[in-house]
Amino acid sequence: MRFTRTSKMLSVAALAALSLSACGGGSSESGTTSGTTGSTDAVIVVDGSEPQNPLIPTSTNEVGGGEILDLIFAGLVSYDADGKPQNEMAESIETEDAQNYTIKLKEGKTFSNGDPVTASSFVNAWNYGAAAKNAQLASYFFESIEGYDEASAEGSTVETMSGLTVVDDTTFTVKLSQPESDWPLRLGYSAFFPLPDSALEDPAAFGENPIGNGPYKFASEGAWQHNQQIELVPNEEYEGPQAAQNAGVTFKIYQNDTTAYQDLISDNLDVLKTIPTSDIKNFKNDLGERSIESPYAGNQTIAIPYYLPNWDGEAGKLRRQALSMAINRDEITEVIFNNGRTPAKDFTAPVLDGYDENLPGSENLEYNPDEAKKLWAEAEKLEPYDESQPLTIGYNADKGDHKTWVEAVVNNIKNNLGIEISGKPYATFKEARTEATEETLTGALRAGWQADYPSLYNFLGPIYATGAGSNDARYSNPEFDQQLTDGLAASSVEEGNEAMNKAQEQLLEDLPAIPLWYQVAQGGWSNNVDNVEFGWNGVPLYYAITGK
């Protein structure tokens, strides 16, 4: 599809290049204009990062391990390129009240070792994930299921959640503690993957050599060479929408993107999903047709805690709006990111079902320096700004290049409002996180959110609901909470989305965090591969990549 915009001249040039390379002896049928054909016997080398935890679905909370799990496991549903759920292991997921679900599995599905995928494979895995004694990092994903609180409480010895019942080999029921219409949407996330029995007998050994039911499997025992590479080959047992179109995917682990980029442009690496900041300006020149910019479900915001003086109450709200309007998002995304980001119009992301860029209140996210000055002056009348404690915008300096844009935002605000404000680098990510968790932040903190599953709620509930795990701003608004609950209880996803957007209007007025822009994946591929497409979450659809 990505060739559709190609001008005729370029296609001619590409064809010429292809016919020239064909003289070199390659007899394989190359993708020409449609880009749908290609060699399926190529092993694709892609960039990865070292999984931080054993490869057990509920132990993993970061991208490096997550993208491996997504290939070697298949959940009840998976997401297609646009984030639409499609059935994988599930035959059907049915509910009448959005609280009691009956899940039927397809017959005859197996793990790569031949074990059948049964209802217990799911129920046992989920119980393992939730039980406090296993200290699984992704345990909070099960919080909606009845009995989660008992199983996950500190020191609890309860090992099962009462809401999960196995009916027969291919059927189980789930009872949630409250109606949640978007719950089935979550089931493609890695925490909900099934596990074979052998996994729970010896999780540590399993985490080194996992056995799954997905489109790929480990090439051999020890295919995970730590900090070097992870070799995956197609799993013959797998049948489904993500069937492998290549002979394997090898994740080569890089310590930094800059190095990976050098490998990409010398064809030693086939796919790079993040172009390093230093090459953002020239990657389209270097790669031409082989580069891609693909929006995905992620955004960048600046959270301002309510426990800071000056930033609470009516004056605080005016100040937040003033700050937001003082930021020229269009200019920053263009100049600093070379249009590799899209200015934000809400708190979610455009690739999601239900996204609306014209929500009432979204004008608060538009650049309007005059209005910003006015709002700031109004706030000053209510309560003067304490110049001795100027606002800072915190960011972690160890990963991701945040300094440049933070400084740009700071300058925007300084110039338009004439107030003292500065960027505040934290040496490490954990230092910033610790202050956020312990409520000891002395200023605002940048916050990036990348969706776990394609749903508006995933961008709202975990970050802005009262007492939520990632609520760095410590925002608490009963009306907003109620709207979230209503949205979850809605009988259909459409109605739910409407309610979520209603809740967003509240956020757009209160601005617990200031949305800046939506993420766009900037990536590229080598001369050896074809059919590279990025999914809704910014991760390439590895199974669809073919050789040339």
Partner 1 sequence: MVWYIVRRFLQLIPVFLGATLLVYFLVFSLPGDATAAICGERGCTPAVVAGLREQYNLDQPFWIQYLLYLKGVLTFDLGTNFSGRPIATIIAEVFPTTAKLAIMALVIEAVFGIVFGLIAGLRKGRIFDSSVLVLSLIVIAVPIFVLGFLMQFLIGVKLQWTNPTVSGDATFTELLLPAVVLGLVSFAYVLRLTRTSIIENVNADYVRTATAKGLSRRRVVVVHVLRNSLIPVVTFLGADLGALMGGAIVTEGIFNVNGVGNTLYRAVLNGDGPMVVSIVTFLILIFCLANLLVDLLYAWLDPRIRYA
Residue 52 in the binding site for partner 1 (CB under 8 A): yes
- CB-CB contact of 276 with 258 (8 Å): yes
Residue 62 in the binding site for partner 1 (CB under 8 A): yes
- CB-CB contact of 85 with 79 (8 Å): yes
In the shown chain, the binding pattern of residues 127 to 166 toward partner 1, with x for contact by CB under 8 A and - for none, equals -----xxxxxx-xx-----------xxxxx----------
Which C-beta is closer to partner 1: that of 119 or that of 158? 158
Per-residue tokens: 337: 């990111």
Q: Compute the least distance from the CB of residue 237 to partner 1, in Å.
A: 28
Residue 281 in the binding site for partner 1 (CB under 8 A): no
Residues in the interface with partner 1 (CB under 8 A) total: 58
Q: Which residue has the tokens 């004056």?
A: 315
Q: Which residue has the tokens 């390379």?
A: 21
Which C-beta is closer to partner 1: that of 4 or that of 285? 285
Which C-beta is closer to partner 1: that of 37 or that of 53? 53
**40 to 28, 145, 231, 543: CA distances (angstroms):** 10, 42, 17, 10
Distance (Å, whole) CA 546 – CA 247: 9
Amino acid at 439: E
- Contacting residues for 262 by C-beta, under 8 A, at least 6 apart: none
Amino acid at 399: K
Residue 228 in the binding site for partner 1 (CB under 8 A): yes
In the shown chain, the binding pattern of residues 247 to 266 toward partner 1, with x for contact by CB under 8 A and - for none, equals -----xxxxx-xxx-xx-xx
Which C-beta is closer to partner 1: that of 22 or that of 427? 427
Residues 349-408 that bind partner 1 (CB under 8 A): 398
Per-residue tokens: 262: 């050098």
Residues 436-495 that bind partner 1 (CB under 8 A): 437-438, 447-449, 462, 469-470
Residue 272 in the binding site for partner 1 (CB under 8 A): no
Cα dihedral: 76, 80, 82, 85 (round 10): -20
- CB-CB contact of 298 with 449 (8 Å): yes
Given candidates 432, 508, 513, 545, which one binds partner 1 under the rule CB under 8 A? Answer: 432
Q: Compute the least distance from the CB of residue 539 to partner 1, in Å.
A: 16
Distance (Å, whole) CA 239 – CA 223: 23
Q: Compute the least distance from the CB of residue 174 to partner 1, in Å.
A: 20
Give 352-375 as a DSSP string. Answer: STT--TT-TTGGGGS--HHHHHHH
Given candidates 178, 227, 491, 492, which one binds partner 1 under the rule CB under 8 A? Answer: 227
Helices (H), 470-539: 478-489, 493-510
Which C-beta is closer to partner 1: that of 109 or that of 284? 284
Footprint on this chain of partner 1 (rule: CB under 8 A): 50-54, 61-62, 132-137, 139-140, 152-156, 204, 207, 225-229, 252-256, 258-260, 262-263, 265-266, 268, 398, 427-435, 437-438, 447-449, 462, 469-470
